[in-house]
Amino acid sequence: MPLTAYSTSQRAELDVEQTLKRLAAEFGQPYTSVDAIPEAWRAYLRTDLQCPSCFVNGAEIVRSATKTGKASRQSFFRFTTPGHRPHCDFGSPETANTVPENLVLLTESKSNLTRAVRELVCTGIEQGVFSQVSIRDMREWFFNKKVASLFAVTLDSRLFTWISALQENMFRSSGALPGGVALTPEIAALPQFDWRAEAARRVMERYPQHEANMQAIMDRRIAMFGDSGKRAQSLSQRFNGRSVFDPAVLVNEYGKTRSLAEFIGHNYAPLKAAKGGAGTASVLALSALLLFVRGWDVSLAISDFVKIAAAVGGANKNLGNVMGLNPFHDYEAWEILKRMQDLKIAVPDNIDIQAERAAIEAELRQQFSARPMAV
């Protein structure tokens, strides 16, 4: 459930405390606690506030309960009537009380990097380069892009493990008999005959499509073996059968955001000095925002950035009380997932290649009365 909501009358993103303070001033009536909010205020908030992800109305203020049922100090907004739109970041029980992974809370400034980005955001707002309205509009733009480009995750997450095991097995087959040469008792009698390599070669024969699959993966430059590949595997497991955002529709925007983030991370001292740099969510969120307000024109975005950087210092910190959007959270992993899924590779029931190889090796050794394999 969101900790902040967008006020259409204030054209700003507010948390519960800020919202109630404003209403107290407006209605000329103090408030004592979240439990004693006048009905008139509640009615007003139901039409004024929007969900920060899907922009429905119907906000209610609730006090979050701790696990023991005790009321805690943190309050948040709930949107039950008419309720979130499908695919809202706050729509699932999974996201209750959490900040969705693609939203960047700039109010939390524990790290030097986030503080530096917050400073840039506040200055950018003060300079009129962007506003809380443009930040809100960017989220709406992203939400609409997302719901217009959904695809269902059908990828079998075991595909990653299976292909890696086959690759490993292929390396183990080096030094085996060339294809088409029969294994004879004389060959098997070679004291150094490599049974494991021969077994590995026979495993490869069972999966003749592997070479074509690997070729397709390489031709499309799908980086399935790195960290993003691991993340893609876990996403395919977690989101199996669910509809998710297709990253392909933002491929141009992603490329531009990355290069702007790299430029900023490299050429702005406070970010260069901080850990993380260009790949960090807050830097990506700022870069995407600079581009969004300029229709994704990189030159204009860079001149805006230079203008902001020159004016940094002394901006009102409260201006940065916003939830930025990093539309490219896990972008590479989602891209790998989608592209692997598009290859439509069928995964067999048994993907334990190591066990398969060991079974073949044991069988061969028995057939040629060789000594059993070393354990």
Which residues make up the interface to Zn ion (CB under 5 A)? 51, 53-54, 84, 88, 90
Q: Which residues pair with 325 in a beta bridge?
A: 103
Shortest Å distance, C-beta 86 to Zn ion: 10
Whole-number Å distance between alpha carbons of 228 and 215: 19
Could you give the CA distance from residue 20 to residue 249 in angstroms, rounded to a whole number?
Answer: 40
**Nearest distance in Å: CB 84, Zn ion:** 3
Give the residue with the Cβ less far from Zn ion, 56 or 120. 56
> Shortest Cβ distance from residue 118 to Zn ion (Å)?
24
Beta bridge partners of 244: 151
Q: Identify whether the C-beta of residue 119 lies closer than 8 Å to the C-beta of residue 312.
A: yes
For Zn ion, give the closer residue by CB, 51 or 199. Answer: 51
Looking at the Cβ atoms of 86 and 372, the one nearer to Zn ion is 86
Distance, CA of 156 to CA of 345 (rounded, Å): 9
Which lies closer to Zn ion via its Cβ, residue 103 or residue 113?
Answer: 103
Of 323 and 336, CB closest to Zn ion:
323
Q: Is the dihedral of CA 109, 110, 113, 115 positive or negative?
A: positive
Task: Tell me how far, at minimum, the Cβ of 143 lies from Zn ion, in Å.
Answer: 8
Only one residue has tokens 């933002």, namely: 250
Give the shortest CB-15-to-Zn ion separation in angstroms. Answer: 16
Closest separation in Å from C-beta 16 to Zn ion: 16
| Amino acid present at 142 | F
Q: Is 321 left (phi over 0), alpha (psi -120 to 50) or beta?
A: beta
Please report how close the Cβ of residue 170 comes to Zn ion at its closest, in angstroms.
48
Token readout for 129 is 């380069």
Task: Tell me, rounded to whole angstroms, the distance of Cα 138 from its chain centroid.
Answer: 17
Residue 141 or 225 having the CB closest to Zn ion: 141
Angle at 137 between CA 61 and CA 48, to 5 degrees: 30
Identity of the residue, 7 or 257, whose beta carbon is nearer to Zn ion in the bound complex: 7
| Nearest distance in Å: CB 90, Zn ion | 5
Other Cβ atoms within 10 Å of 154 Cβ, number: 10
- Between β-strands 49-50 and 243-245, what pairing exists: parallel, antiparallel or unpaired? unpaired
Decide if 34 contacts 63 (C-beta within 8 A): yes
Instruction: Compare residues 88 and 170 and give the one whose CB is closer to Zn ion.
Output: 88
C-alpha angle with apex 53: 50 to 57, nearest 5 degrees? 25
**Token pair belonging to 142:** 């992203």
d(CA 88, CA 51): 9
Contact criterion met (CB below 8 Å) for 8 and 48? yes
Please, which residue, 6 or 193, has the CB nearer to Zn ion?
6
Shortest reach from residue 89's CB to Zn ion, in Å: 7
